[in-house]
């Protein structure tokens, strides 16, 4: 598309858009315009690109926060400027002071949340492909410094992304490689109308302190401090994207999902680089239903160290917000904390034919039936007993502390706890395994695990009771 020679800043943003595929011909873009030099320049630049390089449909969106005396003037300025270019204008009046008084929320967080909600509403109304934000290189430097002071990891030090998806709409920052000075120069040269936000000088906001005090102070020792921070964000951001993709692939290869549980193998995890181990745990924590800031470094590291240690091989860690992480031998399980009743008890009476008992607490069923003579059980989930040697009624109950059993094939008694350990029964499953006892309290059978020496079936057994569990 032929036209006048475009400003270097416009050409630079067009090149960035092509590199990151920020838009395609015919895309609809909601442009967030506050009335400051940055956002006014962004609207001008996108309008120039839509006229002379790539056909775009632009929608100007303005948020009237109701904070400052000049808010009305900003709204009027943005509306007139958008209309001068025949760009649709959308505005919302939030009355943030009243909202903050009613909710008691942090002003910056609340304003950002409601501002983005409005932008998404406009995007939905116009079926837009993206929302363009006017963040620039100086904003990026401030963001990196802010995250550095808060002790952020690589993801925080990578700063803001030029492009990311939120609620099926792309958030794009075409000016992220342009300095604030260059945007202001463009406004002056093209005589673009803009106002200065007086709140940018308020030092009660940490970001303003960084802009007004911290960066100028550091600039005494590095005259290119902003450029250095921006370059660092660009390098770390690229590497962070690579690590995130590697973590997602590792998650797909290693983590199994079953219901509300996420599970992975300890040996496979130990084979990963430490950086990827941390990334994988962070990704898992982000998948779990939790609040923001759940995937903290201390939480991630406590889990990681528990996984890679040699002993113990079974443990449970309450990681907060109703979620537990468990190690069960060679498996790590993340799941919601649930309590299975450990105090159930049912009676079994000698059946005339075939009968069954449903154990409601653990959702399992025990079947009883008369059998003709002795035959080998097909699995550990089946057992046979000499009817004449059983002392009825039998009891099916949860295990109790100190339970012991006389195991068939062993001399003497053995603790049920040790039987579970030897059989490598995961701790989370032990409360789901019932014990079948006779009227005298002897443990006859632990379904799926071991059988006792009591009431064995021999060639002389006239009547046999067969039990199985499902």
130-132: strand order across its sheet: 89-93, 57-64, 28-32, 130-132, 169-172, 163-166
427 and 288 inside one domain: no
Q: Are 18 and 195 in contact (CB under 8 A)?
A: no
Instruction: Work out the average pLDDT over 365-387.
Output: 81
Pair 360, 464 in one domain:
yes
For the cut 70, the answer to whether the pLDDT of residue 220 exceeds it is: yes
What's the CA angle centered on 268, arms 265 and 272, to 5 degrees? Answer: 130
Q: How many domains does the chain have?
A: 3
Is residue 1 over pLDDT 70?
Answer: no
Assigned domain for 2 exists = no
pLDDT digits (tens, 9 = 90+) for 3-13: 677 889 999 99
Structural domain contains residue 238: no
Beta-carbon-side half-sphere exposure of residue 455 (alpha carbons within 13 Å): 27
Q: Which of 277, 307, 336 is the last residue of a domain?
A: 336
Mean pLDDT score, 388-394: 89
- Answer yes or no: is 65 within a domain: yes
What is the reported pLDDT for 218? 94
- Looking at the domain assignment, is residue 301 inside a domain? yes
Of these ranges, 116-120, 372-376, 394-398, 414-418, the one predicted with the greatest mean pLDDT is 116-120
pLDDT of residue 287: 85
Q: Is the pTM of this model over 0.85?
A: no
Q: Give the model's confidence band at 360: pLDDT under 50 very low, under 70 low, under 90 confident, else very high.
A: confident
Distance CA 120, CA 170 (A): 10
Report DSSP state, residue 452. B
First to last CA, the chain: 72
pLDDT in tens, 114-149: 899 999 999 999 999 999 999 999 999 999 999 998
Mean pLDDT of 44-48: 97
CA 282, CA 262: separation in Å to the nearest integer? Answer: 13
374 confidence band (pLDDT: 50, 70, 90): low
pLDDT at 212: 92
Residue 106: per-residue pLDDT: 66
Would 247 be classed as within a structural domain?
no
Does 327 share its domain with 359? no
Q: Are residues 298 and 193 in the same domain?
A: no
Query: Which residue positions form the known binding site for ATP?
Result: 34-39
Q: Is the pLDDT of residue 342 over 80?
A: no
Residue 244 within a domain: no
The reply to whether 354 and 445 lie within a common domain is: yes
Report the pLDDT value the prediction gives residue 338, as an integer from 0 to 100: 64
Which residues sit in the known binding site? 34-39
Tokens of 206: 């940490």
- Claim to verify: residue 324 and residue 349 sit in the same structural domain: no
Domain residues for the domain of 414 are 345-469
pLDDT confidence bin for 308, thresholds 50/70/90: very high
Please say which residue of 336, 364, 391 terminates a domain. Answer: 336
Query: pLDDT per residue over 165-203, tens digit each?
Result: 998 899 999 999 999 999 999 999 999 999 988 778 888
CATH (domain of 464): 3.50.40.10
pLDDT of residue 94: 82
Torsion of the alpha carbons at 257, 258, 261 and 263, rounded to the nearest 10? -50
Q: Are residues 162 and 269 in the same domain?
A: no
Range 222-248 average pLDDT: 93
If asked whether residues 181 and 162 sit together in one domain, one would say yes
In this structure, are 361 and 445 located in the same domain? Answer: yes
* pLDDT bucket at 2, cuts 50 / 70 / 90: low
Which among 58-72, 133-147, 317-331, 373-387 has the top mean pLDDT? 133-147
Does residue 295 or residue 238 have the better pLDDT?
A: 238
Statement to judge: residues 286 and 397 lie in one domain: no
C-alpha dihedral (12, 13, 16, 18), degrees to nearest 10: -100
Residue 340 pLDDT = 46
Token pair listed for 415: 């603790």
Are residues 373 and 280 part of one domain?
no
Residue 313 belongs to a domain with what CATH number? 3.30.465.60
Mark whether 76 and 212 lie in a shared domain: yes
* Residue 341 reports pLDDT greater than 60: no
Q: What is the pLDDT of the chain when averaged over all its residues?
A: 88
pLDDT at 291 over 70: no
**Mean pLDDT across the stretch 57-64?**
95
- 94 token code pair: 């939030």
DSSP letter, residue 388 = G
Whether the bond into 385 is cis, omega within 30 of 0 = no
Percent of the chain at pLDDT above 70? 95
What CA–CA distance (Å, rounded) separates 46 from 31?
Answer: 9
């Amino acid at each position: 598309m032929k036209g006048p020679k475009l400003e270097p800043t416009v050409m630079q943003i067009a090149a960035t858009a092509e590199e990151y595929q920020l838009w395609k011909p015919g895309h609809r873009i909601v442009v967030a315009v506050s009335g400051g030099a940055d956002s006014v320049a962004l609207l001008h630049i996108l309008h120039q690109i839509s006229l002379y390089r790539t056909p775009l449909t632009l929608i100007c969106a303005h948020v009237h926060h109701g904070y400052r005396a000049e808010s009305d003037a900003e709204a009027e300025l943005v509306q007139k400027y958008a209309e001068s270019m025949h760009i649709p204008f959308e505005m919302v009046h939030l009355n943030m002071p009243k909202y903050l008084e009613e909710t008691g929320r942090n002003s910056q967080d609340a304003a950002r949340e409601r501002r983005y909600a409005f932008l998404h509403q406009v995007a939905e109304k116009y079926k837009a492909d993206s929302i363009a934000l006017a963040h620039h290189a100086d904003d990026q430097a401030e963001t990196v410094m802010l995250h550095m002071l808060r002790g952020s990891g690589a993801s925080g030090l990578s700063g803001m992304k030029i492009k990311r998806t939120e609620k099926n709409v792309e958030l794009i920052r075409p000016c992220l490689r342009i300095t604030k000075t260059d945007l202001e120069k463009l406004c002056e040269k093209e005589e673009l109308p803009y106002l200065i936000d007086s709140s940018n000088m308020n030092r009660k906001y940490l970001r303003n302190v960084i802009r007004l005090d911290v960066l100028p102070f550091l600039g005494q020792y590095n005259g290119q401090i902003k450029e250095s921070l921006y370059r660092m964000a660009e390098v770390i951001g690229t590497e962070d994207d690579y690590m995130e993709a590697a973590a997602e692939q590792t998650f797909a290869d290693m983590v199994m999902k079953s219901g509300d549980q996420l599970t992975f193998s300890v040996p496979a995890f130990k084979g990963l680089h430490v950086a990827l181990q941390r990334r994988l745990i962070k990704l898992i924590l982000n998948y779990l239903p939790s609040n923001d800031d759940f995937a903290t470094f201390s939480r991630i590291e406590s889990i990681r160290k528990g996984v890679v240690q040699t002993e113990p091989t079974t443990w449970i860690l309450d990681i907060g917000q109703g979620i537990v992480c468990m190690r069960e031998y060679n498996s790590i399980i993340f799941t919601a904390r649930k309590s299975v009743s450990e105090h159930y008890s049912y009676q079994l009476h000698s059946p005339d034919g075939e009968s069954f008992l449903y154990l409601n607490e653990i959702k399992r069923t025990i079947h009883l039936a008369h059998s003709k003579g002795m035959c080998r059980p097909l699995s550990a989930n089946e057992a046979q007993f000499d009817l004449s040697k059983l002392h009825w009624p039998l009891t099916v109950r949860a295990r109790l502390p100190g339970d012991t059993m006389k195991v068939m094939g062993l001399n003497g008694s053995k603790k049920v706890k040790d039987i579970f350990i030897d059989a490598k029964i995961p701790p989370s499953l032990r409360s789901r395994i019932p014990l079948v006892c006779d009227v005298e309290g002897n443990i006859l059978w632990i379904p799926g695990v071991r059988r006792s020496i009591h009431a064995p079936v021999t060639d002389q057994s006239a009547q046999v009771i067969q039990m199985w569990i499902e």
